[in-house]
Amino acid sequence: MKLLIAEDELLAREGISQLIPPVFTEVRSAGNGLDALEIAKEMKPDVALCDVRMPKMNGIELARRLRLLFPAIHILFISAYSDKEYLKSAISIQADGYLEKPVYEEELLTHLNRIAGEIQARQRKERQQSGLADLFARQQILHALIHRREAGEEALKINPALTEAVLRAGRYLPVSIRMQWPGGGSPAQYGFYSELKLAEALSRVSSNYLFYAFSESQIGILFYGDPLPSAAGCEKQLRPLMESLRAANPQVLNVCACIGEVCGDPAGLYERYHEAHVQVQWMCFVSSAPFAVSALSRNVSAPEDRSARFESLLRTHQLDAAKQLVREQTEEILRGGVGSIEQVRRYYELLLSMCLRVNSGENPGYSYARASSEVLFTFSKLSTLPEISRFLCVRIDEIAPSMNLGEDATAQIREVQAYIRQNLSDPALSVQAVAEQVGLSENYLGALFKRETGQTLHKVIVDLRMERAKYLLLNHCRVTETAERCGFSSAGYFHSVFKKYTGMSPAAFVEQNRTRPRGGPEGKGGG
């Protein structure tokens, strides 16, 4: 901060100079008002100490002229005269204080420290406003560049100097960051990342950057000029940013970034950024890790059609082989290049529809048709390929999980199988209820079922409920809802059975299994 002393008495001027606090880094003085005005034009002071009575130009006139030149200047008057007219003039000029001679150190420091605090607060506010304006410009310029087909040249003139620097840069590196939300979309309320912190993180990669938050899921970034950051440098610097994004949005499944190809013409940024945008969507769709960074890939692949083989395995009850086929194909897609999300979804939906057809049997009925509709709706809300793969394996298990029915299975056992599948969420489902349904005694049904499947009917019911519970818990279903959908009369009873079955509570199971690779279901039923 700068301070000007206008005092005609040399000893007083030098004495005051010795009392100025160090926060004022530049202090200059003059012996009359006219000289003080010339010095002020050169140094642009933040504060002026003006003696009221001076030759050539008095302090009141000097203060008026300083106020015209520097509207934000702070003025302190000094005088040996307690004249009311001077005080009135000081008020009209909006002076910050009035000191009588002799000037006491404590009184002077009180005024100057107060004024210094006000100046620092104003400067912080101005820097913040300037930073926000710069932030807005960086966002709007990138938005206009990427959508230049719709935006005119005027949209690029928000900050002419910055716009000119960007348009003349000659080299551009687009980056697309995406956050994948559960349920195939994003919530109405979310804890999005601070744009100031985002800008701060990007500035550590390069001072030449633009960014724009297109939505709560998508952030576009553009580095420009020469040299551009390397792909390795981008990956190293972007990972902490991605970790912060996920920390600010803990419900997000994963955060991915695609580093696009260098572009030499701003007119080509639409295509270059769109390529990175498409790939980062794919990365989020196939990712089994919380973070992923990748350079742009031109290796495009599509899932191989193995639906005929899959259906054959289902109809011959080779269910483990069918699940293995799904897992292997999922791994192939994960290892392959960039593909079409919609194409992959349609393919897995085809496999799911085969499961539903086989599961429906010869008499699907209205209740099973409604259940199939619910399954397809749930499928449509799955966000990632690992989730879809697990979901499909659970549906395979529902065909005849743990029953090992052969082609020669009796009609009664097949009826038992269908009844269990359709009533798994009914708390009244039990060995007795199944026996009543098929018209057999419990003992006879138990012996018949054990002879044909090798397992007890009670164990099969519990196994199916537990496998369904594990799937629901790992896909963001609450314990109370999971208990209800798995046929338990209360969440407490479900908690007790689940802990006895798995050796851990539902919460501990979720915590342990969500940290594992999610490329496919683990164990029987996709748990």
Give yes or no: residues 264 and 146 share one domain. yes
Question: Which of 80, 103, 126 delimits the end of a domain?
Answer: 103
pLDDT of res. 493: 92
pLDDT of res. 87: 61
Rounded to the nearest 5 percent, the helix, strand and coil shares of the chain are 60, 10, 30
**CATH code assigned at 286:** 3.30.70
**How large is the average pLDDT for residues 158-183?**
86
pLDDT of res. 517: 38
What is the token pair recorded at 325? 């086929």
- pLDDT exceeds 60 at position 257: yes
pLDDT of res. 191: 44
User: To the nearest whole percent, how much of the chain has pLDDT over 70?
Assistant: 85
pLDDT of res. 349: 93
**How large is the average pLDDT for residues 161-178?**
89
What is the token pair recorded at 510? 């979720």
Amino acid letter at 369?
A: A
Residues 334, 159: Cα–Cα separation, whole Å: 43
pLDDT of res. 128: 64
Give yes or no: residues 404 and 503 share one domain. yes
Give yes or no: residues 284 and 325 share one domain. no
Binned at pLDDT 50, 70 and 90, residue 474 comes out as confident
pLDDT of res. 130: 60
356-395 residue pLDDT tens: 887 665 444 445 566 678 888 888 888 889 989 988 988 8
- pLDDT exceeds 90 at position 35: yes
Binned at pLDDT 50, 70 and 90, residue 346 comes out as very high
Contact 334, 416 (CB under 8 A): no
Give yes or no: residues 260 and 141 share one domain. yes
User: To the nearest whole percent, how much of the chain has pLDDT over 90?
Assistant: 22
Q: How many Å separate Cα 518 from the centre of its chain?
A: 20
**How large is the average pLDDT for residues 230-247?**
81
Domain of 68, in residue numbers: 2-103
Q: Which residue has the higher pLDDT, 32 or 200?
A: 32
Whether 108 is in a domain gets the answer: no
What is the token pair recorded at 96? 């910050």
Helix (H), strand (E) at residue 99: strand 97-100
- pLDDT exceeds 70 at position 207: yes
pLDDT of res. 514: 60
Contact 292, 256 (CB under 8 A): yes
First vs last C-alpha separation in the chain: 67
> What are the distances in angstroms from CA 415 to CA 313, 362, 398, 399, 404?
21, 11, 14, 12, 14
Give yes or no: residues 311 and 271 share one domain. no
Worst-scoring range by mean pLDDT, 179-193, 461-475, 510-524? 510-524
Binned at pLDDT 50, 70 and 90, residue 320 comes out as confident
Contact 266, 163 (CB under 8 A): no
DSSP assignment of 265-323 equals -GGGHHHHHHHHHHHHHHHHHH--SSEEEEE----B------HHHHHHHHHTT-HHHHH
**How large is the average pLDDT for residues 51-61?**
88
Contact 409, 401 (CB under 8 A): no
Question: Which of 61, 85, 103 delimits the end of a domain?
Answer: 103
Burial annotation 328-357 (CB, 10 A radius, 16+ → b, else e):
ebbeebeebebbbeeebbebbeebbbbbbe
Write the DSSP symbol of residue 176: E
pLDDT of res. 185: 55
Residues 320, 44: Cα–Cα separation, whole Å: 83
Tally helices (H) and strands (E) across the chain: 21, 10
- The phi and psi torsions of 461 (rounded to 5 degrees) equal -65, -45
Amino acid letter at 158?
A: I
Amino acid letter at 275?
A: E
Whether 220 is in a domain gets the answer: yes
Whether 35 is in a domain gets the answer: yes
Residues 395, 356: Cα–Cα separation, whole Å: 8
Give yes or no: residues 473 and 519 share one domain. yes
Write the DSSP symbol of residue 255: E
Answer whether the bond into residue 250 is a cis peptide, omega within 30°.
Answer: no
What is the C-alpha R_g of the chain?
37
Per DSSP, helices labelled H in 423-456 are 431-438, 442-453
Give yes or no: residues 383 and 420 share one domain. yes
> What are the distances in angstroms from CA 270 to CA 125, 148, 174, 210?
36, 8, 10, 14
Whether 123 is in a domain gets the answer: no
Binned at pLDDT 50, 70 and 90, residue 403 comes out as very low
- pLDDT exceeds 50 at position 109: yes
**CATH code assigned at 420:** 1.10.10.60
Whether 189 is in a domain gets the answer: yes
Binned at pLDDT 50, 70 and 90, residue 329 comes out as very high
- The phi and psi torsions of 264 (rounded to 5 degrees) equal -100, 0
pLDDT of res. 348: 94
pLDDT of res. 42: 92
pLDDT of res. 27: 92
pLDDT of res. 360: 64
Amino acid letter at 464?
A: L
Give yes or no: residues 289 and 312 share one domain. no
Q: Is 184 left (phi over 0), alpha (psi -120 to 50) or beta?
A: left
Q: Which long-range contacts (CB under 8 A, 24 or more apart) does 509-518 make?
A: 509/470, 509/473, 510/473, 510/474, 513/470, 513/474, 514/474, 517/288, 517/289, 518/288, 518/384, 518/386, 518/387, 518/390
Contact 299, 337 (CB under 8 A): yes
Residues 94, 9: Cα–Cα separation, whole Å: 25
Write the DSSP symbol of residue 325: H
Contact 269, 222 (CB under 8 A): yes
**CATH code assigned at 10:** 3.40.50.2300
Give yes or no: residues 386 and 313 share one domain. yes
Residues 355, 52: Cα–Cα separation, whole Å: 96
pLDDT of res. 347: 94
Q: Which residue has the higher pLDDT, 437 or 320?
A: 437
Question: Which of 295, 320, 346 delimits the end of a domain?
Answer: 295
Q: Which residue has the higher pLDDT, 99 or 344?
A: 344
Give yes or no: residues 467 and 517 share one domain. yes
Whether 129 is in a domain gets the answer: no
Q: How many Å separate Cα 521 from the centre of its chain?
A: 27
**How large is the average pLDDT for residues 287-305?**
82
Number of domains in the chain: 3
> Which of the residue ranges 24-33, 372-381, 406-415 has the most confident prediction, judged by mean pLDDT?
24-33
Give yes or no: residues 255 and 349 share one domain. no
Cα dihedral 518/522/525/527 (nearest 10): -70
- pLDDT exceeds 60 at position 149: no
Q: How many Å separate Cα 274 from the centre of its chain?
A: 20
pLDDT of res. 476: 72
Whether 130 is in a domain gets the answer: no
Whether 112 is in a domain gets the answer: no
pLDDT of res. 335: 83
In the chain, the largest separation of any two C-alpha atoms, in whole Å, equals 122
Give yes or no: residues 464 and 403 share one domain. yes
pLDDT of res. 463: 85
pLDDT of res. 150: 47
